[in-house]
């Protein structure tokens, strides 16, 4: 497997476009299209929030139907959540507009929305945007990147990646793009992710691959502890690589899963590091744990602790906040066995040994915590299982962005 340039248009047969439809923002693109030249097998995972946005309900319906998908229409600015039957109707209107403009079945059009909750969609602007994108879509890497930019809200940078691997002497490509910056919490967050592949693979196998990977990637990130109404990850496979079908459990399946994991983990970490107001990606590793459940619970507790996140923002090695978060996480462990470390590109330092502080240099700790990517490592000395979670520091910038988000 190797990383290549591009995102959603890197795989054969996929095209993209973007446009400035004026949904909410002025002077910037706010709609994106992903299109496949042939119908695709579709898999998806969605928000665990009981309050689900209309696009989530629409996409769940499309994915569950087993029908092949051929296009995804995304807008940034209005979430189309808590909008009742009218909002769901706008999903249908969007799909029908895309079907007419692209010459595809409306039953195979997926939709995505992100932005302010409670506002109805300006459907005329949305359908005009669909028609505009249909006319200028293409398979260039630049169009893929432009689509990744168009779905941003408070994000500060686009998020995309592509990789390729060999399967049956054929080159298979997987590419993806995502958005997410605020309302991010494990178990699917305020994020949209769209992944494309030219692999020949069944719908059932595609869904297994996605469902098994999400718990270790997108569900291990947190920015602010809020689980969104709109979280969606969609995975489309059009089969144009013409590889022998990837069978669940085969070596080719493992290679596909590895490629998918690379995409998902990269996008998840980019979302975490681009948290609203963030200045640093904050990773927590729980190592040498009894089992996976303990490891994941402890790692997530650390990155979700607002006090710890604030300490990271201040480059302060306030390790007591980490142990405190671990203690209320619900995981059972022996506090008197725990070792804590901080590490970054500037070095590694031990802060705690067997549950108590060691004689460490505050100056050295501050230097390590002043990097744009910082890791806290909790060594439980209880087994051989590890897990990682990703978040960001908590700064005044988060309040500045969210105090007047609707304006």
Of the residues 190, 197, 227, 297, which is catalytic?
190
Kindly report each contact of residues 204-207 with a partner whose C-beta sits within 8 Å and lies 24 or more positions away, as own/partner. 204/248, 205/246, 205/247, 205/248, 205/253, 206/41, 206/42, 206/43, 206/235, 206/237, 207/43, 207/44, 207/63
Rounded CA separation 218/237 (Å): 20
Rounded CA separation 214/212 (Å): 6
User: Which residue, among 61, 111, 261, has the nearest Cα to 174 in the 3D structure?
Assistant: 261
User: What is the helix (H) or strand (E) element at residue 326, kind and residue range?
Assistant: helix 319-328
What 8-state DSSP symbol labels residue 355? T
* Interstrand relation of 170-179 and 109-116 (parallel, antiparallel or unpaired): unpaired
8 CA to centre of own chain: 14
DSSP-H helix ranges across 179-291: 203-213, 251-273
Q: How far apart are the first and last CA of the chain?
A: 45
Can you say whether residue 82 is alpha, beta or left, with left for phi > 0 and alpha for psi between -120 and 50 degrees? Answer: left
Listing DSSP states for 101-135 in one string gives HHTS-GGGEEEEEEEETTPPP-HHHHHHHHHHHHH
| Residue 375 designated active-site | no
Kindly list the catalytic residues. 190
């Amino acid at each position: 497997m190797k990383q290549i340039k591009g995102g959603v248009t890197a795989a054969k047969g996929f095209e993209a476009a973007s446009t400035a439809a004026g949904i909410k923002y002025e002077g910037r693109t706010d709609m994106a299209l992903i299109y496949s030249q042939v119908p695709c097998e579709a898999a998806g995972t969605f928000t665990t929030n009981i309050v689900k946005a209309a696009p989530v309900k629409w996409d769940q319906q499309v994915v569950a139907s087993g029908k092949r998908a051929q296009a995804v229409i995304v807008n940034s600015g209005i979430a189309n959540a808590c909008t009742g039957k009218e909002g769901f109707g706008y999903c249908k209107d969007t799909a029908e507009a895309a079907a007419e403009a692209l010459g595809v079945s409306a039953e195979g059009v997926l939709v995505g929305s992100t932005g302010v909750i409670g506002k109805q969609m300006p459907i005329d602007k949305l359908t005009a945007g669909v028609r505009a994108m249909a006319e200028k879509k293409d398979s260039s890497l630049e169009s893929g990147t432009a689509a990744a930019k168009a779905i941003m809200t408070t994000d500060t940078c686009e998020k995309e990646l592509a990789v390729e691997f060999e399967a049956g002497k054929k080159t298979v490509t997987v590419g993806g793009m995502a958005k997410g910056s605020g309302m991010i919490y494990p178990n699917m967050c305020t994020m949209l992710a769209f992944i494309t592949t030219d692999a020949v693979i069944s719908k059932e196998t595609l869904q297994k691959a996605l469902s098994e990977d999400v718990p270790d990637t997108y569900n291990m990130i947190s920015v602010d502890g809020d689980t969104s109404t709109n979280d969606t990850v969609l995975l489309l496979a059009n089969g144009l690589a013409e590889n022998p079908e990837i069978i669940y459990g085969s070596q080719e399946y493992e290679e596909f899963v590895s490629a998918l994991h690379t995409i998902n983990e990269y996008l998840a970490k980019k979302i975490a590091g681009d948290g609203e107001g963030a200045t640093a990606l904050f990773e927590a590793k729980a190592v040498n744990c009894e089992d996976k459940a303990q490891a994941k619970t402890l790692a997530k507790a650390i990155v979700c602790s607002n006090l710890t996140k604030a300490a990271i923002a201040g480059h302060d090695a306030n390790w007591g906040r980490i142990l405190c978060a671990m203690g209320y996480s619900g995981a059972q462990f022996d506090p008197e066995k725990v070792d804590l470390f901080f590490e970054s590109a500037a070095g590694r330092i031990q802060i705690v040994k067997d549950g108590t502080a060691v004689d460490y240099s505050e100056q050295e700790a501050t230097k390590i915590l002043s990097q744009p990517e910082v890791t806290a490592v909790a060594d439980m000395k209880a087994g051989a299982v590890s897990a990682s979670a990703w978040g960001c520091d908590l700064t005044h910038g988060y309040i500045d962005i969210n105090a007047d988000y609707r304006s």
